[in-house]
Amino acid sequence: WDWDLQTDLVWWSEGFESLFGFKLTEIESTSESWTKRIHPDDRDRVVSGLERIIKGSEALWSDEYRFQCKDGAYATVHDRAYIIRDNTGRALRAVGGMSDQTEQKKLEAQYLRA
């Protein structure tokens, strides 16, 4: 994904469709397409964490949270971003990627139960 922080436009790659089931034509092109699909119990923590990085001076952000798929189920994702800043340090863009960790988390839980 690629987020223009000045216009709030988000570009999603084709991988978004294969991971989460949404066709790119079905997904909004603003940051709301992301925030509204974060599990309600995770949303405040995740969004405030990313906002803190954008407002600060750090270049890297990452978090793990639940993200809603088209079928209504939640995938556990690891999301990370690189913040691109201008010469004054103002954040212009965030470029990142999400990876589905759902199966790995299930296997880890099974291992711990064993």
Chain segment 46-87, per-residue pLDDT in tens: 999 999 999 999 999 999 999 999 999 999 999 999 999 999
Question: Which of 25-29, 84-88, 98-102, 108-112 comes out lowest in average pLDDT?
Answer: 108-112
Residue-level pLDDT at 104: 83
DSSP H helical ranges for the chain:
14-20, 32-35, 40-55, 102-113
Q: Is the predicted pLDDT of residue 17 greater than 80, yes or no? A: yes
Q: Is the predicted pLDDT of residue 36 greater than 80, yes or no? A: yes
Q: Is the predicted pLDDT of residue 109 greater than 80, yes or no? A: no
Reported as a pLDDT band with limits 50, 70 and 90, residue 111 is confident
Residue environment code for 30-51, b if the CB has 16+ CB neighbours within 10 A, otherwise e: ebebbeebbeeebeeebbeebe
Tokens of 7: 């216009």
Residue-level pLDDT at 105: 77
Residue-level pLDDT at 102: 85
